[in-house]
Amino acid sequence: MPLYKSIILAAFAALMLTVPARAQEFPFGLELTLDTPQLAGARRLPTLEIGENGEAKLDLWCKTGRGQFSVAGDTVIFMPGAIADNGCAPALAQADDGLIANLGTAVNWKRQGDTVSFIGTTTLRFRVNSN
């Protein structure tokens, strides 16, 4: 086999080995949207914008706020920060409180492609925003 073909094959093999590792990285620096149907009365789907150091901006069904993710391997801890009520309807406020509580009970996370799951008493599945 000619040398240039061997080099191309080796480069391709090396690239293929790095893709799964990258696909499993925690989504620091990315925005995620909850993979769920729209709630009646809500104008948006909940999103998390996770900074490079784990700081999080939350735009939920109605409430907004901040939090912090700490990650070690597949273990995750979410600590909510200040959350603004924004005059939410009771049903949306309750849905937001439940989402924050479920994030707080997550003990593990898993990433498969563009899907990130936070696993605890309830598994929350988010999609990485591609725009």
Say if 55 falls within a structural domain: yes
Which H or E run contains 66? Answer: strand 64-72
Q: Mean pLDDT by 10-residue block, N- to C-terminus, for the chain (131 residues)?
A: 47 38 75 96 95 97 97 96 94 96 97 96 96 70
Q: Distance of alpha carbon 95 from its chain centroid, rounded?
A: 18
Largest CA distance in the chain: 70
In a domain, 103, yes or no: yes
Domain annotation covers residue 84: yes
Domain range holding 66?
26-128
> In total, how many domains does the chain have?
1
Q: Is 21 domain-assigned?
A: no
Q: Is the pTM of the predicted complex or chain greater than 0.75? A: yes
Domain assignment present for 16: no
> Which domain CATH number covers 94?
2.40.128.270
